Amino acid sequence: MLAPCALPEAFAQWNRKYRAPFGAGWWVRLLQSRHIGMFARPYGPGWLAWKYRTRLPAAVLRSIGPFGFQLNSASRSFEYPWAFSATPLGERGFKAVDLGAGASGFQFVLASAGVDVTSVDPLINPSESVEWRFSEGDFHRLNRAFGGKVRFVRDFLETAQLPAESCDRVYAVSVIEHIPEAPARKLMQEIARILKPGGYFVGTVDLFLDCHPFTNTKSNRYGTNVSVKDLVEASTLQLTTGERSELYGFDEFSAEALEARMDKYLVVDGVMTQCLVLRKELQH
């Protein structure tokens, strides 16, 4: 399925509860103060607040909210509550893996709901000159502030060696489109390996309107339009949520048909949001 243009009221309530997807209003206003753009010069209070954001007192971090520490697209106002509610969360001992979470508050919200969360991210940072870099130390400071319940594994999932059939859910919110095609297929295979029978993969995948099949351009600076059909087939998991006509790569998908009804979908900065849930079949 593609995210609709109208945000469900239940999702709006979820965002208000967790201050998603940008953090508390006062924090957003501070980041935007005295300059245009969060990282523009001169070095005003907004820039300094962002640079040292994880080193603020824990009480201040909690006031900002779990989603105030990562640059987010407005599309996350749909993605986060959708991913949280796409499948029911289990009882005590329910385990989930959040892929490529970085500083995302989603992992901390899952943990606050009683989920045993493992965050797997290689944290490949840009150069020292880039001010939005996020380190393992930054993660642990946020984790402590929001309950200290998330286990962090600094690695790619394919090499993290998590136990087979050890988790009930794997979440990947706007991650896979940034991964080259061959590694993405291997990632999906590893997801299937670590899921328990009956477990689910819950994911969102960006659909770029400035790339093929909408234009002749193969990729942009954020990634490329990956075939969701290829990902599903590589995983061997069963598609349980997701309209094939709205997921790139399936035979039913038509760029022309989508463009004809573009007003029905959420489009943020030329990007639409594909949402899918895959299930690992129970063993007989």
pLDDT for 255-277, tens place per residue?
A: 999 999 999 999 999 999 999 99
pLDDT value at 39 more than 60: no
**Distance in angstroms (rounded) separating the CA atoms of residues 56 and 141:** 9
- DSSP, res 54: G
pLDDT value at 228 more than 50: yes
- Tell me, letter by letter, the H, E, C secondary structure of 100-122: CCCCCCHHHHHHHCCCEEEEECC
pTM of the model: 0.93
Per residue in 126-182, pLDDT (tens digit) is 555 455 578 899 999 999 999 999 999 999 999 999 999 999 999 999 999 988 889
Using a pLDDT cut of 70, give the percent of the chain over it. 93
pLDDT value at 184 more than 80: yes
Q: What is the pLDDT of residue 44?
A: 63
pLDDT value at 102 more than 50: yes
CB 68 within 8 A of CB 23: yes
Per residue in 242-253, pLDDT (tens digit) is 999 999 999 999
> The tokens of 11 are what?
């999702």
Return the SS3 of 197.
Answer: strand
Place 50 in a pLDDT band, splitting at 50, 70 and 90.
confident
> The tokens of 60 are what?
């201040």
207 or 180, higher pLDDT: 207
| Amino acid (1-letter code) at residue 97 | V
Domains and CATH numbers, the chain: 71-279 (3.40.50.150)
φ, ψ (nearest 5 deg) of residue 101 = -70, -35
Q: Which of 32-36, 98-102, 156-160, 247-251 has the lowest mean pLDDT?
A: 32-36
| Amino acid (1-letter code) at residue 92 | R
